[in-house]
Amino acid sequence: MSPGPRTSPAVSLVTSHGRQSLSWNGDERLIDLLNRHQVPWSALTVYVVPRSGGAPTIRPCLDQTAGDLQDAAELLLYFNRNVNPFLFSLTQAMTVASAEPERQATEYFYQRLDNASSTAESFLKKLSPDECRSVIAARVAETVREHLPANSHLVVGVSGGGDSNALLYALTQLKDHGLTLHPVIIKGIPDWDAGVPRAQELCRTYGLELTVMEELDVKELLGIPRDSASLIDRFQKEFEGDDFEFLGTLLVRLALFEKAQEMGTRFVCTGLNLEDVVTEAMFRVSTGLKPAPFPARVIGDMTLVMPLWLCPKRIIDGCFPKYSLENYDARYPCFSLGRNLYYSVVYTLQSQYPGFLEQMARGMSELSLKDPVTYSLDEQLGFHVERFVPFPLRRRFQRMVGRG
Amino acid sequence: MSQQKESVEVRNNFNLKNVSVELVPAGERRAAATFIAVADLEAMRTQRRAIPASKHGLETICGASCDTGAQ
């Protein structure tokens, strides 16, 4: 005797704000059904109403399909708190009318929250390159005016990618602050070297003189012998499976500081954007560390400024779309679990709750600037650090630079 | 009279869990009727006032037990 036709159990999402039926799609698991409707699994307790009758019983069944739940007439997905997480859903976002529909380079979700009426409205705005550039120029101007004295000399770290282009563009648009710009690019790994011709082209466009620091000079920043293996080989040998970005950011900082000293200024800046500063702050707070000061960070007698700290990568990329694509094609994968985790958390927040990352950035910036973290010179390493470097790690680092 | 009205509203809200609603809205393309300037959208993004946990900011008074109203 063949079994009768299978009937999928009904699924009801039950919240204190109302109840809604959801439907299965093929052989998907309950977790897939929830993801498809953007229902957070961690906020639910699942009860099964038996086909045979009787009281609903609790059932952990996120991994089960409708076929696995043939004894169930209905699944009751109870929200375990009385909030309405769908208030902020982007599915009902309105696309904002565009002034230049033929010149769209990117798009971004904006959200208006009204506390008085407890409502959220979402908007999807398509942005042209001109609009992106005006946004970035405005944000950069605000930060520079607040954190850099007028008539400063500013050493700017560039990579030749979309971020540098947008940063240089925005800095050169600021005419009433008397800034003098000194762009610097460093060489030493293929990704960096590939950016040099683009950076040179950019600086020509903006009438700026680019300083190119060769790999040998970059090695010297850490006291690495000039005739030794390449930077990347030394790093990979000692820190296998880790990401060169960590050493890379240190080298960029040291190179910018050296150039600043040479120019007699104490101000340097890099293209750290909104996602970068929040990821760093989230990592720090979640590991018990205060957020490091941003968007201006005093390290020794230098100040590192982050003019793009309120600029999302998506809008930065819209400024010069061609450069961004070339930059992405030169990307090397990131393997560090932690770096993957902190960035992924931030992208999830940013994608689900537009504007919240900015609120976090402003709040954490305020915290970071009160009684700020300080850095002290580590004589052995030759640069500033915040906290104690454990001996085994110090020894490996010293070995990498050829001093171990 | 106003007390009676209030109790009706409270009962209605309590019963919401049995009312069919569209909490998870079906995605549909919606175009805004009006143009919104980029500067206004940017103000929405970067200058939005932080939302208090309680609509009336009650966490200032009650927050020592939990700022976000967990019991």
According to the per-residue pLDDT averaged within each range, which of A64-78, A93-107, A220-234, A310-324 is highest?
A: A64-78
ipTM score of the complex? Answer: 0.80
| B1 is a domain residue | no
| B17 is a domain residue | no
pLDDT band at A264 (very low <50, low <70, confident <90, very high): very high
Domain ranges of chain A: 10-83, 149-400
Q: How many CA atoms lie within 13 A of B51 on its CB side?
A: 21
Q: Name the token pair of A63.
A: 């991994």
At the fourth CATH level, which superfamily is domain A149-400? HUPs (3.40.50.620)
Inter-chain contacts counted by CB atoms under 8 A, chains A and B: 109
B17 touching A (Cβ < 8 Å): yes
Amino acid at A222: L
Give B46's contacts in chain A (Cβ within 8 Å). 139, 310, 358, 362
Contact in structure between A273 and A308 (CB atoms under 8 Å): yes
pLDDT at res. A329:
64
Of all residues in chain B, what percent are helix, strand and coil, respectively (each to 5)?
40, 5, 55
Enclosing domain of residue B40: 31-71
Determine the angle formed by the axes of helices A162-173 and A190-206, rounding to 10 degrees. 30
Domain spanning A10-83, CATH architecture:
Roll (3.10)
pLDDT, tens digit (0-9, with 9 covering 90-100), for A296-350: 999 999 999 999 999 999 999 999 887 766 666 666 777 889 999 999 999 999 9
Give B26's contacts in chain A (Cβ within 8 Å). 91
pLDDT at res. A172:
97
Q: Name the token pair of A15.
A: 């919240």
Give A359's contacts in chain B (Cβ within 8 Å). 48, 50-51
pLDDT at res. A1:
43
Whether the predicted pLDDT of B12 surpasses 70:
no
Domains of chain B: total: 1
| B46 is a domain residue | yes
Chain B's closest residue to A310, CA to CA, is B46
Q: Please name the member of A15, A91, A123 whose beta carbon is closest to the beta carbon of B25.
A: A91
